[in-house]
């Protein structure tokens, strides 16, 4: 069984009345024993209602050691944008970002850049030619990553189709840094790490000193689990509202569909279904995964070797671990 494209709206509520099925722990243990040789898989945590049901380290560092979560950091960056709106640093999802970027917009940028909003950046619908995929190498080799991303030709109008691009996330990082007058690392630590009880190590910066937006952030598997649990609980951690609940609701509403995977995308979150369950997930290159299944009270973390060649179907191997190895313990008569 693989993920299905969901045509339904994501969950409007963040608290479900149904009592999730308890795990068949024997079935789950046998299944996890069988996935130990999955190429590149380093660590896995399965938690239900906040309590770990299974924790495995297959290779590499332990569960408390930070690891590169690659593009899963786009999801954390999106949550920082939601917090920035709540705090008044940004005015709303439909705020145009050009006035914030100001003189950082290059003279050769397409005029349509002036129409790009925060929502367009978060949903990957800025309209600019992507800097990911075949264009990634030239982008990160450029002297000015932000200017390069903003000066790409427009291949759709802002608000058009989804164009997955790390350059778009880097523009979002610049918006956050300029609007707050703080580094993105400072925001990540102050707005997520500190209230959630973990440290966010520093990560790669561009030639101008802006922290890489949407890539190279490092979190431990347990820190990623804590972040996921906070989101699954409507943005609340230990009684404190860390991430705005209303923003999470909007983030989990489908905004666009990926032309590559066919999967739906919200605001920094991928949206799918598996075994009849709503799945909200963050995804990083190589198999850095955070899955939320609100209907079962589940949060699942997978970390993997990030220094591997790109192969077709890479992410599908992790989806299969979820649907074939983990979920049967919670859905097949558990």
Beta strands in the chain (DSSP E): 41-48, 51-57, 67-68, 218-219, 236-237, 240-241, 256-257, 264-265, 270-274, 277-284, 288-293, 298-304
Short-list 123, 173, 179, 181, CA closest to 150: 173
Per-10-residue mean pLDDT for the chain, 334 residues long? 46 43 89 92 97 95 96 98 98 98 98 98 98 96 98 98 98 98 98 98 98 98 98 98 98 96 96 96 97 98 91 87 96 67
Are 330 and 295 in contact, with CB atoms under 8 Å apart?
no
pTM > 0.85: yes
Range of the domain at 282: 1-65+220-334
Boundary of a domain, candidates 218, 247, 270: 218
Say if residue 54 is in the same domain as residue 27.
Answer: yes
Determine the Cα–Cα distance for residues 207 and 141; give it in Å rounded to an integer: 10
Say if residue 81 is in the same domain as residue 203.
Answer: yes
Q: Who's near 250: CB < 8 A, 6+ residues apart?
A: 93, 266, 267
Q: What pLDDT is stored for residue 16 in this prediction?
A: 39
Say if residue 95 is in the same domain as residue 199.
Answer: yes
Q: Who's near 19: CB < 8 A, 6+ residues apart?
A: none
Say if residue 305 is in the same domain as residue 322.
Answer: yes
Say if residue 169 is in the same domain as residue 115.
Answer: yes
Say if residue 144 is in the same domain as residue 167.
Answer: yes
Structural domain tally of the chain?
2
Say if residue 319 is in the same domain as residue 237.
Answer: yes
Are 124 and 267 in contact, with CB atoms under 8 Å apart?
no
What are the b/e assignments for 6-20, b being 16+ CB within 10 Å? Answer: beeebbeebeeeeeb
Say if residue 90 is in the same domain as residue 51.
Answer: no
Q: What pLDDT is stored for residue 334 in this prediction?
A: 52
DSSP symbols for 155-176? SS-TTSS----HHHHHHHHHHH
CATH code, domain with 161: 3.40.710.10
Boundary of a domain, candidates 218, 248, 280: 218
Say if residue 60 is in the same domain as residue 121.
Answer: no
Say if residue 102 is in the same domain as residue 56.
Answer: no
- Neighbour count for residue 262 (Cβ, 10 Å): 11
Say if residue 38 is in the same domain as residue 149.
Answer: no
Say if residue 46 is in the same domain as residue 15.
Answer: yes
Q: Residues 287, 242, 64, 26: what is their CA dihedral angle, to the nearest 10 degrees?
A: -70
Boundary of a domain, candidates 195, 218, 241: 218
């Amino acid at each position: 069984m693989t993920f299905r494209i969901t045509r339904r709206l994501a969950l409007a509520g963040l608290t479900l009345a149904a009592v999730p099925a308890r795990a068949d722990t024997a079935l789950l243990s046998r299944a996890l024993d069988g996935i130990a040789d999955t190429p590149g898989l380093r660590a896995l945590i399965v938690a239900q209602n906040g309590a770990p049901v299974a924790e495995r380290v297959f290779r590499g560092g332990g569960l408390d050691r930070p690891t590169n979560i690659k593009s899963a950091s786009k999801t954390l960056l999106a949550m920082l944008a939601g917090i920035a709106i709540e705090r008044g640093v940004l005015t709303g999802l439909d705020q145009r970002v050009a006035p914030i970027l100001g003189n950082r917009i290059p003279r050769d940028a397409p005029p349509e850049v002036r129409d790009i909003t925060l929502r367009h950046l978060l949903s990957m619908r800025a309209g600019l030619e992507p800097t990911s995929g075949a264009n990634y190498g030239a982008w990160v080799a450029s002297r000015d990553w932000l200017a390069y991303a903003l000066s790409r030709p427009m291949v759709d109008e802002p608000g058009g189709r989804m164009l997955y691009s790390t350059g778009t996330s880097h523009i979002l990082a610049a918006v956050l840094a300029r609007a707050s007058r703080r580094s993105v690392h400072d925001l990540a630590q102050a707005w997520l790490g500190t209230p959630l009880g973990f440290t966010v190590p520093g990560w790669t910066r561009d030639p101008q000193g802006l922290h890489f937006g949407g890539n190279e952030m490092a979190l431990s598997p347990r820190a990623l689990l804590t972040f996921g649990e906070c989101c699954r609980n409507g943005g609340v951690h230990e009684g404190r509202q860390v991430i705005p609940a209303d923003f999470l609701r909007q983030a989990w509403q489908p905004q666009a569909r990926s032309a590559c995977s066919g999967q739906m995308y919200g605001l920094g979150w991928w949206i799918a279904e598996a075994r009849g369950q709503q799945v909200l997930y963050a995804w990083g290159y190589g198999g850095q995964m955070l899955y939320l299944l609100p209907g079962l009270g589940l949060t699942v973390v997978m970390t993997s070797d990030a220094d591997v060649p790109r192969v077709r179907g890479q992410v599908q191997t992790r989806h299969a671990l979820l649907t074939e190895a983990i979920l049967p313990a919670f859905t097949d008569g558990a």
